[in-house]
Structure 1
Amino acid sequence: MKHLPIVIAVVAALAASSSFAQQSHQGMDMGGMKMDGTSSMGTSYPLTTGEVKAVNKERQMITLKHAAIKSATVEMSPMTMAFPVKDAAMLKNVKVGDTVKFTVENVKGQAMVTVLDPQT
């Protein structure tokens, strides 16, 4: 019975940390970022340069420290942010520390990496 409060505290901490790890960017304040889903058909945008900070193949996520992003559906200031990738195969040839060129698009209300080109 002495250990019950400790067990409860550990379980609560683990539950909180796993829910934090599962958070998405839905509902997050993205003020100043164009995320309206509108497309500028026929407009070509350059790829953005970024540095890979983390790769999570299991969750199909990549964390990038990136320059300003401007695509057909997303505009974002320079920052470090985790993004889902369109296809898990995109993560096969990247590792932490790599420089990449990439595009982010608004896919169903979520900023998603749709092009990922590792630089050699």
Structure 2
Amino acid sequence: MNKDCPVTLEACMGMIRPVRDALDVLSGKWKIPILISLSFGNKRFGQMTRDIPKITDRMLSKELRDLEVNGLVQRRVHDSVPVFVEYSLTEYGHSLDKVIHELRDWGVKHRERYAEPDKVY
């Protein structure tokens, strides 16, 4: 942001509203881990439960539905015997790749600054 430019209410709201919208879509404990899991390729439900420790089946189902409603995740039912369901990121979902990498980089720097660097979480 330009420090020489006076901040107006309109400018402030112009920053806050889109950030708030993004946080509303991505908020919660599980959405980012789900997006990260799917960024490595298409996954079946069971694969994601293994990728994301401690997430319950019910919560994974709910969060996948939310991500699907927001156009970030696609659910594909394969007509085979037995039928199986596969999830993938949409092109729109992949538009978050850079944001997620930036958050990761910031998190690494934050951990180096404030946390115990050798502690595994």
TM-score of the two chains, using structure 2 as the length reference: 0.28
Structure in which a larger fraction of residues adopt strand: 1
Structure in which a larger fraction of residues adopt helix: 2
TM-score of the two chains, using structure 1 as the length reference: 0.28
